[in-house]
Amino acid sequence: MRGRHTQMNMFVRLRPISILAAAAMVVVISTAVTVYACQARSDLHPVILVPGSGGNQLEARLTKEYKPSSLWCRLWSQPSWSRLWFNPLVLVEPFTKCFAERMTLYYHPEIDDYRNAPGVETRAPHFGSTESLLCLDPLIKDATAYMEALVTTLHTLGYTEGDTLFGAPYDFRYGLAPQGHPSLTSTQFLHNLKTLIEHASHSNNDKPVIILTHSLGSLFALHLLNRNTPSWRNRYVKHLITLSAPWAGTVQQMLTFASGYTLGVPFVDPLVVRAEQRSSESNLWLLPNPKQFTDRVLVVAKAINMTYSAHNMSMFLRDIGYGEGVVPYERRVVPLISEGLAAPGVPVSCVFGSGVRTAERLVYGGGGFDGGPEEVVYGDGDGTVNMVSLVALEREWEWEGGQSLKMIRVPGVSHTGILKDGGALEVIVREISEINSNFSLASHYHSQLSTD
């Protein structure tokens, strides 16, 4: 116990398993579910999956207002709905620029909100389904797999698509805004998510739902809970399980803004996509929060003899050449993160990796920001999110009476690895099984995994 809220810290240390053992694990669970199927289906709280940034497909179509910047962009025509993210054409340099200009958002000070590029319409397909969360491109399914392993594991527990299992894809480029500021796209997403939660509950004998989120999706889910009444939360939400949640942002985002970041996609010049990444409202939201990162030095710029912490982020944005980001950052992001991470009053379990080298300080040399950092100082985290951000709720909710919070660390598991690692999936299964009071299946899962 810390403070007045219920909290459990679990340091899960699971021995590595081979690929064959992981496959056998799925077979074992499938066999177990055959035995428990009737009981499991009648006892399950429905699960709604909310992905992280880049974790679902996006589609686009072009209208007559679209003005291609090159012949290549004209050739890559999208008059009808087709996949924009992820599309293998992004790997071909001329089309990388076309992709970037179609993904770019624009902040309009006169309306204090973000919009797509002129002539570009986008949508997140298959809302309510997990279809666009499984992989980012069905034609290269293995290379772009995202939540497929997690969904398969949920199936083995008795969850069925459209019955007890649902997905909530969204346009992850957009962020939320503080009270009094418009946020058309993301506010609509929260409305759709709320409606989906109510539908999932009503179609399952009014059982409250389990919201299972990854990364950025965790922030959206928490804001949804806090923007609705306690009576609504208590009626419709049983539990919030977050995976790799960047509660206080990441130093990685400062690298993205300064130098561009290819997300591991080969053959792509980070400078080509940097402007598009800077335009993303959600990326601006995920810059380090001063409350958690305090005054620690996060970026060093030797060429101009400057250091940057989370407290002088506006200066950082100006110095990297993104001065147009200062107004939306100060007007929308600063008030939003200043609101804090209010406790929602429903049980929360945070599952996250630890012990993975994670950038804590970026040192840029005489070449400036375009060439990338000459040195990176690493610390603890999940390879993407710093530990101070992963555990931010511990301090935020330390004195929140009645708030149930469980922090579960899975050593050696990365930010996205948590969606497919055998040990991490075991932890997720245990949490969901306990919420459903289906201890027999969770115990069977664990014992078989340990002996394989």
Q: Does residue 415 have an active-site annotation?
A: yes
Question: Distance of CA 226 to CAs 193, 209, 363, Å?
Answer: 14, 16, 38
Other beta carbons within 10 Å of 202: 12
* Token pair listed for 280: 């993303």
Q: What is the C-alpha end-to-end distance of the chain, expressed in Å?
A: 35
Catalytic: which of 244, 382, 421, 444? 382
- Specify which residues 364 forms β-bridges with: 301
What single string gives the DSSP state of each residue in 193-227? HHHHHHHHHHTTTTPPEEEEEETHHHHHHHHHHHT
Question: Distance of CA 228 to CAs 33, 210, 224, 282, Å?
Answer: 36, 16, 7, 22
Helix (H) or strand (E) holding 353: strand 348-354
* Token pair listed for 287: 């810059």
Catalytic: which of 218, 415, 433, 444? 415
Yes or no: say if 390 and 247 are a contact pair by the CB < 8 Å rule. yes
Q: Which residues contact 233 (CB under 8 A, 6 or more apart)?
A: 225, 344, 345, 346
Q: Does residue 382 have an active-site annotation?
A: yes
Distance CA 167, CA 93 (A): 33
Catalytic: which of 132, 215, 259, 282? 215
- Specify which residues 165 forms β-bridges with: 47, 161
Distance CA 271, CA 273 (A): 5
Catalytic positions, written as ranges = 215, 382, 415
